[in-house]
Structure 1
Amino acid sequence: MSEPTGAARRRGPFQVGDKVQLTDPKGRHHTFTLEAGKAFHTHKGSFPHDELIGAPEGTVVRSSGNFDYLALRPLLPDFVLSMPRGAAVIYPKDAGQIIAMADIFAGARVVEAGVGSGALSTFLLRAVGDQGLLSSYERRQDFADIAKKNVEGYFGGPHPAWNLTVGDLQDNLVETDVDRVILDMLAPWECLEAVHKALVPGGLVCCYVATTTQLARTVETMRAMRCFTEPQSWESMVRTWHVEGLAVRPDHRMIGHTGFLVTARRMADGVDAPMRRRRPSKGYDSDDYEAPQV
């Protein structure tokens, strides 16, 4: 049985065309692609690429300036954070939440709107695998071109499960019987009618938004439509720790707010979501949010 797309580039000795991440003693990273006959240069000296070709991961190489570098393949989070960008990328902490909390499974049929630089697309393709389907929609051609280059750069070529369309989701969505929909855009509430039509009963929509006003509009529109379960909303924050001997403390800097995530499940046709029993907050008016017709 053939290996999944890109798997051969993730294990074994270094080969020509592999991406290598060098880490210096201060923890700084340098990433480059192995080419026969080439050399890696920094202000700390150089060494030939041929020294790494055929060597195992975890090798330490020494530059002509007597400086040691640890050589490993970059992990997907490393690749995403260093990839060329057109739009801002979804941080690995949020991509991981989407994969887990939106229940992206092998073989799933997924629609993604708002490709940006292709970061989330790469995570989603690894999750759905060669037997799944990821249909991505991006309004801007320049962003789509950058995303395509980044995704193919990671997998070593085109991924068989990926379809990339340039255009608005509302105008171009043709997929049906979709398991999951991921919306990373300024106004995801405008797409919910199209999303409802595309999703299978029990399918899940996940929206990634940056501001509280976007969060409120998205959640209240879902509630007003009555064809989705009660939306769940959250954000995640990552704080690393300094651990050295008895000095164990949280680091002074952390990855704080990057965005909010909202998920909801599609109800069966002709079935309304149960009404909320919680008392709404003062000033709440459901008439502020007009539900699309489904």
Structure 2
Amino acid sequence: MDITRTDTLRRDWPGPAAVLALLKPITWFPPMWAYACGVISSGQPLSPSLIAAALGMLLAGPLLCGTSQAVNDWFDRHVDAINEPDRVIPSGRMPGRWGLYIALLMSALSAAVAAVLGPLVFVAALAGLALAWGYSAPPFRFKQNGWIGNSAVGLSYETLPWITAATAMTGLVPETPLLLVALLYGVGAHGILTLNDFKSIRGDTEMNISTLPVLHGASVAARIACVVMAVPQLAVIGLLAYWSLPYHASGIALLLAIQVACMRRFLADPVGRAVWYSSVGVGLYVSGMMLAAFGLRQAFLTTPIG
């Protein structure tokens, strides 16, 4: 094969590094963490279910989340050319329509793995895929509105994996306390997604994508993000205290107090400090998730709650 032919093939097929860049491994952490919270909070023995738990985390992170990243990058390639031209599709490292082909292949693989974990998990995975495509693809394109789009992502990144994991562990629909905590953390994740919107205000404005910073301005959007992150955590603290889990409630209260201190610095310069607060505040937020999961586990293993 001559050099010209080899160069043509390289341009027609994406390299492994380009595929990995499209799937964005750094974004897999939130749903995998939420899935781990679901496994722990289910109250089921961990050792007999390690393989199923590992498969579920693979489904939540690399497969479903990776699919959502591929879908989003394909349908956002025009706005990314303005906001982040170095991304894998606008930069040309992902040639032709390969971004779309990979999104379709990942969707099929996600559904196949979910089917192995049981019918309830399969249904949950289909719901996750529907949200992933609806978020980015027309005609729905939920991301056109920051209130709707960020709600869809928050629920699919935090609530859905948490509930799916608990369902996979028990074979049953989770009990109400677990559903409540998972839902509250999914609602709070709306604020986390808003933090991610500050870096793309210019391109979103040009492309008529109504994120909260575009709709309300950076200062107001920052306040909304902080309130949306804090209020669900306050509710979780109250629920854990009501369920006689004072140590877990106090731990989350401490984590929230540190977040509030960081929020004050973030609010002084929302655009300049959004990335900083995302890295600091989100770490504290998800630590509280795991603490709540261990609290639920303790409650389910001792006295039933509800």
After TM superposition, the score normalised by the length of structure 1 is 0.31
Asked which structure has the greater CA Rg, the reply is 1
Q: Which protein has greater RCO, CA pairs closer than 8 Å, 6+ apart?
A: 2
